[in-house]
Amino acid sequence: MAEYGLLGKKLGHSFSKEIHSYIGDYKYEPMEMDENELDEFLKSKDFKAVNVTIPYKQTVIPYLDEMTDAAKKIGAVNCIKNKDGKLIGHNTDFEGFRDLLIKNGVSLEGKKVLILGTGGTSDTVNAVCESMNTGSIIKVSRTARNGAVTYEEAKIFHNDAQIILNTTPSGMYPDVDSCPITLDEFNELEAVMDVIFNPLRTKLISNALQKNIKAEGGLYMLVAQAVRASEFFMDTVYPASLCKDIFNKILKSKTNIVLTGMPASGKTTIGTRVSEILQREFIDTDLLIEENAKMSIPEIFEKYGEAHFRELEIEAVKQASRHCGVVIATGGGAILREENIKALKMNGKIFFRDRHPDLLIPTSDRPTAFDKEQMLKRYEERYPIYTKTADFIVDQDSIKAATKQIIENL
């Protein structure tokens, strides 16, 4: 008999196994299945308990012997327990999303709320809104079915919304460049919450944060619903602090460490050290550019010029930034393009390796910093951008001290 796991169609980028490893001492595995495998699995009842994710939260209902009141109210199931041969369906997404709002201090009482999307998750979020005395709830979808309004109608007639809650897959890995709605038209926004947890910050969340609007993705919801599911599986109650503790551990493990700084400032050396200590993959975007282009950076500059190199750099930065929990060393000029910063902050925390140009050694293979004069010029041009875009400034001079500083401040 299988023990515990996550039932879904595509689970390659799920965090659930790691989360459950922090919750309790039980075997929990991803259970990827197509629709034609689902019937036999559920009828055999050869498991103790499973979480259920997209696209099976409603598909599994006919196989259940019982449903809890929470699952009945929402009309979807995200966990199933096998109790003496009876399959009991439950839904902890309600508690997960409610806890996400509470963690961020988001009050819905009397507020005008837009829920983006009309799927099963939308129904869960709608139930949370109703339980928190929301002033008015408007669902938004592309087709405006089932009483929803279109995105254009939302911008024209509901631009006084105070809260936006995204339940669509827009912006979810691997479609990280998409965004369900622009925020420019909404001048009274107080908060934006997204159920998506991969990437850690969707484009929607990043846009809200740039406007100084309270915003967060769905990682805390994911952790909270998993803890509640495990309580349901085990017939137990965990300490109230468990969700926060696990959230902090998962967030730390999934956050990329991004190194920015001048050429020859030691980013690659420090990045390699950090990756070895934390046992993370190391990605150097300059090497990635050379691999993709199949030529060296000096050759790219000589043959195609700097403008072409910067376009290749954008693609390499995007490629690296889609990972979670890696160490990334960027080229000296990567911070010059805003799209690079946005991509790097999607899953990462930026550490600026601050070294004065007097301590940097120019070499002929650095096309924009090949002598002391060029090095100083680039430093003066870029320093304000380095500091503005960094989440933390690494000011320790030695490699060992700088490495320690980064790990301590992750």
Residue pair 364/371 in contact by the 8 Å Cβ criterion: no
Picking from 195, 184, 153, 164, the residue whose alpha carbon sits closest to that of residue 53 is 195
- Separation between Cα atoms, residue 68 and residue 323, nearest integer Å: 37
Residue pair 178/142 in contact by the 8 Å Cβ criterion: no
- Separation between Cα atoms, residue 6 and residue 16, nearest integer Å: 7
- Separation between Cα atoms, residue 322 and residue 160, nearest integer Å: 34
Residue pair 192/205 in contact by the 8 Å Cβ criterion: yes
214 assigned to active site: no
Q: Which residues contact 131 (CB under 8 A, 6 or more apart)?
A: 98
Picking from 330, 353, 331, the residue whose alpha carbon sits closest to that of residue 402 is 353
Half-sphere CA count of 331, side-chain side, radius 13 A: 27
- Separation between Cα atoms, residue 223 and residue 230, nearest integer Å: 11
**Spacing of C-alpha 48 from chain mean position:** 30
Q: Which residues contact 151 (CB under 8 A, 6 or more apart)?
A: 140, 141, 142, 180, 181
> Which position among 57, 81, 139, 203 bears the catalytic label?
57
Residues known to be catalytic = 57
